Amino acid sequence: MPSAPRPLPTLPRRRTLQWLAALAGTSGAAHGPAAWAADASLEPAECIAPSRPGGGFDLTCGLATQAVQVVRPARPPLQTRYLPGGIGAVAFDQVATGRLGGPGTLVAFSSGSLLNIAQGRFGPHPVSAVRWIATLGTDYGVVAVHRDSPHQRLQDVVAALRKDPARVVFGAGGTLGSQDWMKAALLTRAAGQDPKRMRFVSFEGGGEALKALRGGHIGVFTGDAAEARQALEKGAPLRFLAVLAQARLPGALADLPTAREQGVDLVWPTVRGLYMAATAPDAAVRAWVAAFAEALAAPGYAALCNQYGLYPFARTGTALEEFVQRSLADYRQLAQELGLRSWPR
């Protein structure tokens, strides 16, 4: 499983904004309209969130927009456009076949996207059909229930699965073989049960799944911490049972135990980033890579990441290509272990 760096401490919001303001002031002097125009057009650009609003892809586009504005204040802000369908499959297919793309089109992806590519769920397209621009940060899986749920601890869910896996209704973004399904499957396997016996309800993004949990239509949410944390801050009646990180996270989730602490060896990092069409002009690709490389290296970026519930995980260029290839190999192996197809076969 791809590993992510240890998270950085949470920073006070006031200090965060001060850092970003200072950074914007210095960046504007060094990278004004002339500098950006030399790399690419100042025409408006968009970030495609390949799901419905409220999930991790939406969060990725929001972070990308702010990151670019800090280091490229002269260009128009990125506009988020939603393109749901197969948790990224529709967007990837349209990019790979040339129906979507261009110098101003960025598409959000996650570790789940790479998992789906590894299984051929994004169509028979090679990974070279897109240009990988940057990873913006990492999130971690989470197990959450309604605050009125009888499950008080992760071990309560494990005990329920051991008794009868069909009585535990999981739900999250994605379908069979998706990363959220994988979390539920691995938890079911840890309880000594066959994942094929579990019940999993698929949704078009984490935001839709969290609405279902709120309404009592599912019993256990196996999405990501950042999207669940944002829902909780907006008043969603959630109870977190475990975070799927190597160690406890700092900040708002500092009191949340890991699955490992509770006897379940389950770790799931979710890296978030952006790609473009392989047909995009080289000059535009270089310009976007340079802009995000600068944003990721800026002293205030960790604080900005924290606002979105993510932890820094910076990859561009060759390092990103290597990360993608390594992740695909890991996910193909995991898919085979769980009896799922992998691609290419």
pLDDT of 22 higher than 70 = no
Average pLDDT of the segment spanning 130-145: 96
pLDDT of 42 higher than 70 = no
For residue 35, what pLDDT is reported? 40
Which residues, 6 or more positions from 118, have their beta carbon under 8 angstroms from its beta carbon?
Answer: 327, 328, 331, 332, 335, 342, 343
For residue 344, what pLDDT is reported? 63
pLDDT of 270 higher than 80 = yes
Average pLDDT of the segment spanning 335-340: 87
pLDDT of 223 higher than 60 = yes
Superfamily of domain 141-262: Periplasmic binding protein-like II (3.40.190.10)
Whole-number Å distance between alpha carbons of 313 and 139: 9
Whole-number Å distance between alpha carbons of 23 and 176: 43
Average pLDDT of the segment spanning 34-48: 62
For residue 4, what pLDDT is reported? 44
pLDDT of 37 higher than 80 = no
Other C-beta atoms lying within 10 Å of the C-beta of residue 214:
17
Mean of the per-residue pLDDT values for the chain?
86
pLDDT of 289 higher than 80 = yes
Binned at pLDDT 50, 70 and 90, residue 288 comes out as: very high
Question: Which one is predicted more confidently, 54 or 218?
Answer: 218
Question: Which one is predicted more confidently, 148 or 28?
Answer: 148
- State what percent of residues in the chain have pLDDT above 70: 87
pTM of the complete model beyond 0.85: no
* HEC readout, the chain: CCCCCCCCCCCCHHHHHHHHHHHHHHHHHHCCHHHHHHHCCCCCCEEEECCCCCCHHHHHHHHHHHHHHHHCCCCCCCEEEECCCHHHHHHHHHHHCCCCCCCCEEEEEEHHHHHHHHCCCCCCCCHHHEEEEEEEEEEEEEEEEECCCCCCCHHHHHHHHHHCHHHCEEEEECCCCCHHHHHHHHHHHHCCCCHHHCEEEEECCHHHHHHHHHCCCCCEECCEHHHHHHHHHCCCCEEEEEEECCCCCCHHHCCCCECHHHCCCCCCEEEEEEEEECCCCHHHHHHHHHHHHHHHHCCCHHHHHHHCCCECCCECHHHHHHHHHHHHHHHHHHHHHCCCCCCCC
Say whether 141-262 and 13-139+269-337 share the same fold: yes
Average pLDDT of the segment spanning 203-213: 87
CATH level 2 (architecture), domain 13-139+269-337: 3-Layer(aba) Sandwich (3.40)
Domain range annotation of the chain = 13-139+269-337, 141-262
pLDDT of 13 higher than 70 = no
Binned at pLDDT 50, 70 and 90, residue 312 comes out as: confident
pLDDT of 39 higher than 90 = no
For residue 29, what pLDDT is reported? 36
For residue 234, what pLDDT is reported? 87
